[in-house]
Every structure is written in structure tokens, then in C-alpha cells.
């Protein structure tokens, strides 16, 4: 086996077809130049040692980079990933929920459906995340190879060169007044949870007993008919809360106006909760009869729930003003 | 310590390689003869860097190449183009200016 032939093949097979012959010819003549007239395999080895690794020689000949995504695109790539992945995950999860809700026939216990949704939701989120990651990476790997600009400066998200003007599009947010994405996310999560609990209270909230076919609801706590009398109030609160969360998301920081709206929201929520819970016969007879001692539950449990809720509402309201004010100082 | 110094030295040299190669191409040279010329001036160049560099210079229009098959072994000769000569002269000026400035800077350091 001729080491020189193998070496040349190892270089040229990594190169575009049209250059192969010329480069092969030049390499062979160079290698032969370096060898003495009568050479041994030892000589060949030492010459090839000098020529270096065929991979790096080939990569020198090619204009293409030896990395998937270089410094020019890396920052944009990472920012886009951070932006797109959560959105894709949320959309995937919502689509799973929508699929299940349209398929529910009312016979299964809602708790089992919820467990199903969570399980499938996690699976779907993983699937979508991997797909998103893959395709975004492919797009950037291609961009990296198509872009002939040899400038190594990182690009801004608009795929242009950085100028000081870019700073004008960024709002300066001190840490204390910032509203994190998590806060927004958990806000939305909380809204969807209480909305589900409210509209499906007779299927969700109650005393569960383990049976042969999973958990079954034996005694719902709330009287659904009475509860649903207040649906316009609940819907209004839902809309208010969604609008508030969206407003927080857009603003990204606490302001005095946001704190005022937030306080109004907390007050409204407390009032509506009190109105609903203080309605006579809001608790079902099944629940009251479930165990002895449950009959008089409404006389102390309901006021206690309202008081706890009110305490949290006041503290949240004040917290909003505190965060908004800390911005004014700095 | 040693490897860090090595990589810094390589980095320092890398920029000057193009200039060194261009300076030797006022007369036509083939790959190996160029290596020998540079080595005679005790400039060591990685072979896996040199050959791709020659191709790149050709692509940029700084050198032209031609195959000589009159001798037993075909050889590819490279020589500076007119444009290449112009660029080389300017690059040389730039280098001399830079090294003078750096020399002054380093000398000042020693005097202190």
C-alpha cells in the first residue's frame, strides 16, 4: 500500500470535486520534492509528518469553517433559541390541552384527564423542543456557510452590524423593578388553574377515594349551580387578570400605574371571592354529610379562606407599589 | 507556561506569514522551493498552512500560477501578479511602520 496515495486521497476526498485533481497533482509533486531520490518508508513517513494532519490540510484548502456555528452568528442563534423554545413549548402544551378537552366525553374523572394531559404534554413539549432546536441549528449552520462575509464581528438580532443606535431599542431595567418571565408564566398558569377549578368545580374539587379505576370523586365540595350563577363576575375577573399579566409582560417593569392597576385587581378579586363564598348553600350536602363535624364547616372555614386570601391580596398590592417606587429612586 | 508562550508566538507570526510568502514570490517559485527559501531565512512555516495559503492568494488575485511540465516532475509555479506587487509594497510599508512603532514602545519600556 502506498502511503502517499492514501494521504492524498485523505486530503482530496474532503475537497470539492473540481479542485481535487489539481490539488492532488500539486501535493504529489511537493511530497516527491521533499523526498530523497531513493527513499524508504521511513522517509515517506517523516515527510507526511511534516505535511501534517490531512484533515487540517483539507480544511485549509476549503473556505468552509470547521465549526457548525461561528462567532458571527452564535449570539443571534442563542438569543433566538431562548426566545423561540419557550413559545414553542407553550404552544405545544396548549395544543395537547385543546386536543384532550375536545375529546373528553364527560365520563372519565377529570383528575385522570389532567394527569394524562400533563404526561402527554411533557412528551409533546420535548418533541417540539427537539424539532425546534434541530431546525434552527440547521438554518444557522447553512447561513454560516452561505455567508461569504469574512467579518467575525457578532451580528445583532436583526442580522446587521452593531451600532450604538441599537442601544436605543433596549429599555434599561434595573433589577429591583424588573418583572421576570417566570412571574408572567406563573401568572398565566395560575389563571388557567383557577379558571378550570371554577368552571369544573363539581368534577375537580372534592373528596377523592381510590378505587379500581383510579381516583374517583365521591363528594364535590361546591354546589356547581350556585357557583355558576356568578359566571359573569368570574369571566370578568379572568379577562382582567389576563390583561394585567399581558400588560406586565409588555412593560417588563413595575411602574406606578401598573401598581395601581394591580392593587385594583387584588381588591376586585377579594371582593368577588367573598361574594361567591358567602352565598348560602354554596357547599354541597354530600360534602357536609361526608364526615361528622363537616356540617358546621362553612361557619369557620369560609371566613378563614377569605381572610387568608385578603391578607395575600393586601401584601401583593403593597408589594407592587414598593417595587414601583424603588425604580423612581434609582 | 511553555504551551502558552508557544501559542502566543504562533499567533504573533501568523499575521506575518502572508508578507513573508509574498516577498519571496517576485520570482516564480513552486511549493517546495518556497519552503526552502523561507527556511533559509529561518522562517518556519507549517506546510499545511502554506499550500492552502498559496491557493487563497491566487483566488484573491495576488499571485498567478502555471504548471511547468517540461521537467520530469510537473511543478506548479506561483508568481506575484501586478496587483500582488502593489499590495505587497503597501503591506511591507505598513509592516515596517508598525515594527518601528512597536520597537520604540518596547525600547521605552526598557529605559524605565
A34 exposure class (CB count in 10 Å sphere: 0-12, 13-18, 19+): buried
Q: Note whether residue A175 is domain-resident.
A: no
Question: Are the beta carbons of A29 and B30 separated by less than 8 Å?
Answer: yes
Question: Are the beta carbons of B51 and A26 separated by less than 8 Å?
Answer: yes
**Residues A305, A325 share a domain:** yes
Helix boundaries (H) for B30-79: 31-40, 47-59
Give A187's pLDDT tier (boundaries 50, 70, 90). Answer: confident
Give A-chain residues touching B31 at CB under 8 angstroms.
26, 29-30, 33
Of A126, A147, A170, which residue sits at a domain end?
A170
**Residues A141, A241 share a domain:** no
Q: Note whether residue A176 is domain-resident.
A: no
Question: Are the beta carbons of A61 and B55 separated by less than 8 Å?
Answer: yes
Q: Name the residue among B33, B49, B76 with its Cβ closest to that of A26.
A: B76
Share of chain A above pLDDT 70, in %: 89
Nearest CA of chain B to the CA of A53: how many Å?
A: 8
Q: Note whether residue A116 is domain-resident.
A: yes
**Residues A270, A190 share a domain:** yes
- The more confidently predicted of residues B26 and A176 is B26
pLDDT score for B16? 86
Q: Which positions in chain B have a beta carbon within 8 angstroms of at least one beta carbon in chain A?
A: 30-33, 46-49, 51-53, 55, 67, 73-76
**Residues A254, A154 share a domain:** no
d(CA A176, CA A326): 7
pLDDT in tens, A22-47: 899 989 888 888 888 888 888 899 88
- The more confidently predicted of residues A328 and B42 is B42
pLDDT score for A8? 92
Neighbours of A262 (CB within 10 A): 21
3-state secondary structure of A254: coil
Nearest CA of chain A to the CA of B39: how many Å?
A: 13
**Residues A131, A78 share a domain:** yes
User: Which among B21, B32, B51, B76 is the top mutation candidate for probing chain A, defined by the most A β-carbons within 10 Å of its own β-carbon?
Assistant: B51
Mean pLDDT of chain A: 83
d(CA A148, CA A152): 11
Q: Which residues face B78 on adjacent strands?
A: B29, B65
Question: Are the beta carbons of A57 and B51 separated by less than 8 Å?
Answer: yes
**Residues A88, A27 share a domain:** no
What are A213's three cell numbers?
379505576
Q: Name the residue among B31, B52, B67 with its Cβ closest to that of A30.
A: B31
pLDDT score for B26? 92
Q: Note whether residue A177 is domain-resident.
A: no
pLDDT in tens, B63-103: 999 988 887 788 899 999 999 999 999 999 999 999 999 99
pLDDT score for A260? 93
Of A135, A170, A205, which residue sits at a domain end?
A170
**Residues A269, A213 share a domain:** yes
Please say if the pLDDT value at position B38 is more than 80: yes
Q: Note whether residue A298 is domain-resident.
A: yes
pLDDT in tens, B15-26: 888 999 999 999
Give A329's pLDDT tier (boundaries 50, 70, 90). Answer: very low
Q: Note whether residue A89 is domain-resident.
A: yes
d(CA B86, CA A238): 74
Please say if the pLDDT value at position A185 is more than 70: yes
Nearest CA of chain A to the CA of B111: how many Å?
A: 38
Q: Note whether residue A159 is domain-resident.
A: yes
Q: Cα A85 from chain centroid?
A: 5
Neighbours of A179 (CB within 10 A): 20
φ and ψ at residue A53, rounded to 5 degrees? -55, 125
d(CA B14, CA B8): 10
User: Which among B21, B32, B33, B52 is the top mutation candidate for probing chain A, defined by the most A β-carbons within 10 Å of its own β-carbon?
Assistant: B52
Of A61, A87, A105, which residue sits at a domain end?
A61
Q: A155: which DSSP letter?
A: P
Largest CA distance in chain A: 110
> In b/e form, how buried is each residue of B7-34, taking b as 16+ CB within 10 angstroms?
eeeeeeeeeebbebbbbbbeebbbbbbb
Q: Are A313 and A269 in contact (CB under 8 A)?
A: yes
pLDDT in tens, A124-160: 999 999 999 999 999 999 988 887 766 667 777 667 7
Q: Which helix (H) or strand (E) covers residue B64, if one does? A: strand B63-68
pLDDT score for A179? 82
d(CA A247, CA A262): 10
Give B13's pLDDT tier (boundaries 50, 70, 90). Answer: confident
**Residues A284, A226 share a domain:** yes
**Residues A158, A238 share a domain:** no
pLDDT score for A330? 44
Question: Are the beta carbons of A51 and B48 separated by less than 8 Å?
Answer: yes
Q: Are A176 and A327 in contact (CB under 8 A)?
A: yes
CA A319, A324, A325, A327 dihedral sign is: positive
pLDDT score for A137? 94
Q: Are B91 and B19 in contact (CB under 8 A)?
A: yes
User: Which among A22, A33, A62 is the top mutation candidate for probing chain B, defined by the most B β-carbons within 10 Å of its own β-carbon?
Assistant: A33
Q: Note whether residue A329 is domain-resident.
A: yes
**Residues A316, A194 share a domain:** yes
Question: Considering its fold, how many domains does chain A have in total?
Answer: 3
d(CA A274, CA A140): 55
Strands B75-80 and B63-68 come out as antiparallel
- The more confidently predicted of residues A149 and B57 is B57
Give A-chain residues touching B55 at CB under 8 angstroms.
23, 61
CB pairs under 8 A between A and B: 48
Q: A154: which DSSP letter?
A: P
CA distances from residue A256 to A123, A252, A275, B100 in whole angstroms, order as listed: 41, 13, 29, 62
Quick one: average pLDDT of A159-177? 76
State which residues form the domain around A92.
67-170
Q: Which helix (H) or strand (E) covers residue A219, if one does? A: strand A214-220
pLDDT in tens, A226-285: 888 888 998 899 889 988 988 888 778 888 889 999 999 999 999 999 998 888 888 887
d(CA A202, CA B6): 75
**Residues A194, A315 share a domain:** yes
**Residues A193, A139 share a domain:** no
Question: Are the beta carbons of B30 and A25 separated by less than 8 Å?
Answer: no
Give A213's pLDDT tier (boundaries 50, 70, 90). Answer: low
Amino acid at each position: 500500500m502506498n502511503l502517499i496515495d492514501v494521504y492524498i486521497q485523505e486530503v482530496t476526498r474532503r475537497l470539492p470535486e473540481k479542485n481535487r485533481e489539481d490539488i492532488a497533482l500539486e501535493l504529489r509533486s511537493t511530497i516527491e520534492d521533499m523526498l530523497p531520490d531513493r527513499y524508504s518508508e521511513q522517509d515517506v513517513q517523516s515527510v507526511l509528518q511534516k505535511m501534517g494532519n490531512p484533515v487540517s490540510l483539507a480544511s485549509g484548502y476549503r473556505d468552509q469553517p470547521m465549526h457548525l456555528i461561528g462567532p458571527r452568528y452564535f449570539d443571534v442563534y442563542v438569543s433566538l433559541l431562548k426566545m423561540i423554545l419557550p413559545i414553542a413549548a407553550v404552544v405545544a402544551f396548549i395544543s395537547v390541552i385543546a386536543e384532550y378537552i375536545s375529546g373528553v366525553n364527560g365520563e372519565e374523572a377529570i383528575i385522570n384527564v389532567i394527569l394524562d394531559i400533563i404526561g402527554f404534554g411533557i412528551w409533546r413539549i420535548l418533541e417540539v423542543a427537539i424539532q425546534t432546536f434541530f431546525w434552527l441549528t440547521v438554518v444557522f449552520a447553512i447561513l454560516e456557510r452561505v455567508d461569504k462575509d469574512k467579518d467575525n464581528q457578532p451580528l445583532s438580532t436583526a442580522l446587521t452590524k452593531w451600532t450604538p443606535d441599537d442601544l436605543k431599542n433596549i429599555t434599561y431595567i434595573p433589577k429591583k423593578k424588573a418583572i421576570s418571565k417566570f412571574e408572567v408564566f406563573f401568572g398565566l398558569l395560575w389563571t388557567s388553574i383557577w379558571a378550570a377549578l371554577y368552571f369544573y368545580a363539581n368534577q375537580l374539587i372534592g373528596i377523592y377515594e381510590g378505587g379500581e379505576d383510579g381516583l374517583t370523586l365521591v363528594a364535590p365540595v361546591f354546589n356547581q349551580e350556585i357557583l355558576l350563577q356568578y359566571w359573569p363576575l368570574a369571566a370578568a375577573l379572568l379577562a382582567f387578570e389576563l390583561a394585567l399579566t399581558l400588560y406586565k409582560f409588555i412593560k417588563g417593569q413595575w411602574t406606578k400605574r401598573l401598581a395601581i392597576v394591580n392593587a385594583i385587581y387584588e381588591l376586585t378579586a377579594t371582593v368577588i371571592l367573598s361574594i361567591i363564598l358567602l352565598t348560602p348553600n354554596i357547599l354541597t350536602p354530600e360534602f357536609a354529610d361526608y364526615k361528622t363535624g363537616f356540617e358546621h364547616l362553612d361557619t369557620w372555614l369560609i371566613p378563614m379562606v377569605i381572610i387568608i386570601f385578603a391578607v395575600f391580596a393586601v401584601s401583593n398590592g403593597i408589594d407592587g407599589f414598593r417595587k414601583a417606587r424603588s425604580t423612581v429612586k434609582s | 507556561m511553555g504551551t502558552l508562550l508557544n501559542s502566543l508566538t504562533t499567533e504573533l507570526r501568523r499575521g506575518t506569514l502572508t508578507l513573508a510568502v509574498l516577498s519571496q514570490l517576485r520570482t516564480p517559485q513552486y511549493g517546495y522551493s518556497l519552503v526552502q527559501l523561507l527556511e533559509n531565512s529561518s522562517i518556519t512555516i507549517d506546510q499545511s498552512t502554506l499550500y492552502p495559503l498559496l491557493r487563497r492568494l491566487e483566488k484573491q488575485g495576488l499571485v498567478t500560477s502555471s504548471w511547468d511540465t517540461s521537467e520530469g516532475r510537473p511543478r506548479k509555479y506561483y508568481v506575484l501578479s501586478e496587483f500582488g506587487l502593489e499590495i505587497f509594497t503597501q503591506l511591507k510599508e505598513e509592516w515596517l511602520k508598525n515594527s518601528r512603532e512597536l520597537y520604540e514602545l518596547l525600547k521605552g519600556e526598557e529605559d524605565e
